[in-house]
Structure 1
Amino acid sequence: MTARAAHFVQTSADTFLPTENARSRWGPDHLNGPALVGLAARTIEERFGLDEFMPARLTVDLFKAARAVPTTATARLVRDGRRVRNSECELLQDGVVVARAILVQYRRSSVPRGEEWSPTMDLPMPVAVDDSSHLTMGSDDGGWSPNIADHQNASRKRFRNRAVDVVEGVANSPLVNAVYAAEGTSLVTNLGTAGIGYINGDLTVALARLPVDEWIYLQADSHWTADGISTGSATLYDRIGAFGTGVVTAVSNPAAQIDFTDDAASVVENL
């Protein structure tokens, strides 16, 4: 059997060695966002997740570029309440914190009486898909394809995503898969006609429920920019409907802007 791809190999209880799958396009030895947020989500959930609590919000601050070096993941329980649990995780490289995450969990309960407003949304899915590929990108002007260059346009964008395992030999949980997919909010909102020139410094994932399977879709909802600062939001959905939201803030990085038309094999991959 072919071994499943993974972003990290666990070398001790709290230390992880990045693999080639964790590499980013932003720099020769940088790690990509999905690898980092996935490791943070996995660490917090493994240590402090409870079945009776829903992981409703994860916010990850990406303090500096993470490198392809051993990464230590620490976690602590901040508040253990009857209805709300708060915990945090830090990812450290050479003793320096490169990312910090906070997870909010709510106790699952009955639905309140009455009806509430929810938006009516078009949630496109490709007619024909290649399940051998982890990612497929779509846009209003470019249809669906595995090549980012096909979607360097000014129209609305979306992903179909099956996450790479965060740690070798361990299948991702539904929470980790959702967080991994949500990190694509930066790409689906910031990708334009000349590529992507904003690098996100954070990710917030808000979830009403967990995805029903490993295939997750992400569609851009908003994108606002001024003075080299960008904010973007996107809807997470699966085969039965929408279940969450991804939000990022990002800063202009024109010196390292990635133009995918310069790469003949610009297959969708992690930034």
Structure 2
Amino acid sequence: MPNDTNVAPSDPALPPLPTAAYTRIDTHVWRASELTRGPWDMGHQHAGPPVALVCRAVEAVAREHGLTHLARLTANILRPVPIGDLIVEVMTDYVGRNAGHFSAHLMAHGKEVGRFTALAQREAEPALELPASLAGHPLPAAPRSPDESGPARFPFGHDHIGYANLVETRSAAGEFWHGPCAVWFRMSHPLVADEAPSPYQRVAVAADSGNGISGVLDFRRWSFVNADLTINFLRRPVGEWICLEARTCLGPAGTGLAESALYDEQGLVGRATQSLAVRSR
């Protein structure tokens, strides 16, 4: 089990929490709540929630073509995403027999803050009968299940509402901000008001935290922000709990890479990568 340093003290009294990360304002317009606040700036969102919001929009468009598996989602974060109103627009680039390519824009204050591409696939019906002795199967599992993992909290955001209130976290291996570790995530609030998030959206909310949970530098002295996130799914996730088994590697010129193996309670579901810009504060 994780040691006591993984368990955050009780939060001080906070104002009532918002009911969801986002509220619909119009067909393509969404208002972010304080639950989306990230660790780098009080006025900016953690990238996980807006990536999940775009994921939701892509899923909806792909379903219109009978494409129900999101195989890849790539987010290019062009600017910090402010806590405020966002516009999400999805374009269908090409749809073939078994796969479709999509792109999306995320807008705030009249500027494009994120640009996305996605690959969606048609799932086989009935499911394929794979050989029993297939190499690499059964799929790898997370180091511990959620029930076997102790509670853990991010070492930030204890005095204000933010991303740490959006998700519940449990440590399956290692500890926050001390190198490679594995952490289970479960959303404590909906992504969109009055709507249950899809398994893909649950992964997207968590996957952008790989560089944070596996950080190797002192958060108070260094920033290691990612300007992109790519998630590859090998299968449809299931359940509410998503585990990131993450590792950060740094280069000598202010660059780095965070890699995360992604699990649900049944085993591996995919991988995520983030390109890092490392700077002293």
- TM-score, normalization by structure 1: 0.80
1:125 corresponds in structure 2 to 145
1:188 corresponds in structure 2 to 213
Say yes or no: does 1:15 pair with 2:29: yes
Task: Provide the C-alpha distance between the structure 1 equivalents of 2:92 and 2:201, rounded to a whole number of angstroms.
Answer: 19
Deviates more, 1:73-82 or 1:161-170: 161-170
Task: Provide the C-alpha distance between the structure 2 equivalents of 1:216 and 1:234, rounded to a whole number of angstroms.
Answer: 11
1:253 corresponds in structure 2 to 279
Shift of 1:237: 0.7
Task: Provide the C-alpha distance between the structure 1 equivalents of 2:190 and 2:111, rounded to a whole number of angstroms.
Answer: 25
Q: Select which of 160, 163, 174 maps to 2:184.
A: 160
- Report the residue type matching 2:144 in the other structure: P
Question: Is contact 1:4–1:165 with CA below 8 Å preserved after alignment?
Answer: no
- Report the residue type matching 2:49 in the other structure: A
Cα deviations by residue, 1:166-219 (Å, 9 ceiling, x for unpaired): 211111111111211211222133x12513620011111100112220111110
Say yes or no: does 1:211 pair with 2:234: no
2:197 corresponds in structure 1 to 172
Task: Provide the C-alpha distance between the structure 1 equivalents of 2:68 and 2:58, rounded to a whole number of angstroms.
Answer: 13
Say yes or no: does 1:234 pair with 2:254: no
Shift of 1:5: 3.5
Task: Provide the C-alpha distance between the structure 2 equivalents of 1:210 and 1:124, rounded to a whole number of angstroms.
Answer: 20
Task: Provide the C-alpha distance between the structure 2 equivalents of 1:137 and 1:238, rounded to a whole number of angstroms.
Answer: 13
Q: Secondary structure at the match of 2:251?
A: strand
Task: Provide the C-alpha distance between the structure 1 equivalents of 2:73 and 2:276, rounded to a whole number of angstroms.
Answer: 17
Task: Provide the C-alpha distance between the structure 2 equivalents of 1:120 and 1:47, rounded to a whole number of angstroms.
Answer: 31
Say yes or no: does 1:104 pair with 2:119: yes
90 and 167 in structure 1: CA distance in 2 versus 1, 3 angstrom threshold: same
Question: Is contact 1:91–1:98 with CA below 8 Å preserved after alignment?
Answer: yes
1:198 corresponds in structure 2 to 224
1:266 corresponds in structure 2 to none
Q: Number of aligned pairs?
A: 244
Cα deviations by residue, 1:38-76 (Å, 9 ceiling, x for unpaired): 111011112223555421100011101111221111111
Cα deviations by residue, 1:109-147 (Å, 9 ceiling, x for unpaired): 3467683446866622352556999322537554xxxxx
1:225 corresponds in structure 2 to 251
- Report the residue type matching 2:277 in the other structure: V
170 and 34 in structure 1: CA distance in 2 versus 1, 3 angstrom threshold: same
Deviates more, 1:245-254 or 1:73-82: 245-254
Gaps of 5+ in 1: 143-150, 256-271
Q: Select which of 38, 42, 64 maps to 2:56.
A: 42
- Report the residue type matching 1:215 in the other structure: W
